[in-house]
Amino acid sequence: MSQFPVTLKKQLVDDWEFVTQLGKLVKLPRSPTVDGILTKYLEYRVKKDNKISDSCAEVTKGLRCYFDKALPAMLLYKKEQKQYKEEIKGDVSPSTVYGAEHLLRLFVKLPELLSSVNMEEDALNKLQQKLLDILKFLQKNQAHFFLSAYDGDSKGADGAKGK
């Protein structure tokens, strides 16, 4: 996705610095959650288009599934692994706990993930347009969806606390 909004790129860099350099984690559960953001996006589309298109609902559903599967596999920094294990137990979906910070990381991985999907070029282009629309929605609501600072207590992130 070459049209990644600049303000969201900066958000990703800040996110990386908070977690990997400063050892700060996103306080969980987030509000709004990935689930909540995708629901808000559908509501926004309904208001804008006066209807909900099946493809829009399909894309958000697919994004939610991708997020839940990709989060533990490729979206967490090493320092976030322990927090994930503490927060996601049983049949809890990561999309009901994590928020925009981690959803944004998925968007970075999507081109790579979609390149391995067998899809007609036309369908792939339409999907990329929808994903870009969701990204623009994230950007428009950046102040509301993203944290400006992370939790100073990186409990368990480096194993130093609580010993």
Q: What CATH number is given to the structural domain containing 136?
A: 1.10.274.30
Residue 156 lies in a domain: no
* 36 vs 100: CA distance, rounded Å: 10
- Domain-located, residue 96: yes
Determine, yes or no, domain membership for 74.
yes
Q: Is the pLDDT of residue 158 over 80?
A: no
Residue 91 lies in a domain: yes
Distance CA 62, CA 60 (A): 5
pLDDT of residue 2: 57
Check residues 72 and 117 and name the one with the higher pLDDT.
72
CA distance 99 to 156: 20
Model confidence band, residue 115 (pLDDT cutoffs 50, 70, 90): confident
**Mean of pLDDT values over 61-79:** 95
Domain membership of residue 153 (yes or no) is no
149 located within any domain: no
**Does residue 162 belong to any structural domain of this protein?**
no
pLDDT digits (tens, 9 = 90+) for 116-157: 888 888 888 888 899 999 999 999 999 999 988 787 654 443
Per the structure, the count of domains in the chain is 1
**Preceding amide of 29 cis, omega within 30:** yes
Residue 133 gets which letter from DSSP? H
Mean pLDDT of the chain: 87
Nearest residue to 63 (alpha-carbon basis) of 89, 92, 27, 100 = 100
pLDDT value of residue 153? 52
Res 106: pLDDT: 96
Residue 162, pLDDT score = 31
Could you give the angle at the alpha carbon of 94 between the alpha carbons of 1 and 105, nearest 5°?
Answer: 25
Residue 123 confidence (pLDDT): 87
Q: Which domain holds residue 94?
A: 6-144
Q: What is the pLDDT of residue 121?
A: 86
- Determine the angle formed by the axes of helices 100-115 and 34-49, rounding to 10 degrees: 80
Tokens of 62: 């697919």
Confidence (pLDDT) at 92? 95
Percentage, residues of the chain above pLDDT 70: 91
- Count H helices and E strands in the chain, helices first: 7, 0
Q: Which of 123, 137, 127 is nearest to 48 (CA)?
A: 137
Q: Is 4 exposed, middle or buried (0-12, 13-18, 19+ CB in 10 A)?
A: middle
- On whether residue 71 sits in a domain, the answer given is yes
Give me the residues paired with residue 151 across strands: 25
> What are the φ/ψ torsions at residue 97 (nearest 5 degrees)?
-125, -45
Mean pLDDT of 43-61: 86
From 1-5, 66-70, 85-89, 145-149, the region with the lowest mean pLDDT = 1-5
